[in-house]
Chain A
Amino acid sequence: EVQLVQSGAEVKKPGDSLKISCQGSGYSFADFYIGWVRHVPGQGLEWMGIFYPDDSRNRYNPSFQGQVTMSADKSTNTAYLQWSSLKASDTAIYYCGRCIFIYHNGVWSNHWYFDVWGRGTLVTVSS
Chain B
Amino acid sequence: IVLTQSPATLSLSPGERATLSCRASQTISSNYLAWYQQKPGQAPSLLIHGASTRATGIPDRFSGSGSGTDFTLTITRLEPEDFAVYFCQQYDSPITFGQGTRLEIK
Contacts and interface: CB of A to CB of B under 8 A. Distances in A.
Interface of A: 4, 37, 43-47, 61, 95, 97, 100, 102, 104, 110-120
A98 to B, nearest CB: 10
Contact of A111 (B42, B87, B92): B92
B45 interface: yes
A114 to B, nearest CB: 7
Contacts, number: 60
Interface of B: 30, 32, 34, 36, 41-46, 49, 55, 87, 89, 91-100
Contacts of B92: 111
Contact of B45 (A43, A45, A117): A117
Decide if the interface of chain A is mainly helix, strand, loop or mixed.
strand
Decide if the interface of chain B is mainly helix, strand, loop or mixed.
loop
A45 B97 contact: yes
A101 B100 CA distance: 23
B94 A47 contact: yes
A43 B46 CA distance: 20
Contacts of B94: 47, 61
- Residue in A110, A113, A116 whose Cβ sees the most chain B Cβ within 10 Å: A113
Given A113-B49, A113-B89, A115-B55, A95 B43 contact: yes
A46 B97 contact: yes
17 contacts: A4-B43, A44-B98, A45-B87, A61-B94, A102-B30, A104-B30, A111-B92, A113-B34, A113-B91, A113-B95, A114-B36, A114-B46, A115-B55, A116-B43, A117-B45, A118-B43, A120-B43
A118 B41 CA distance: 11
A72 to B, nearest CB: 19
Top 6 A-B pairs, shortest CB-CB distance: A45-B97, A117-B43, A113-B34, A119-B43, A117-B44, A111-B91
A47 B93 contact: no
Contacts of B34: 113-114
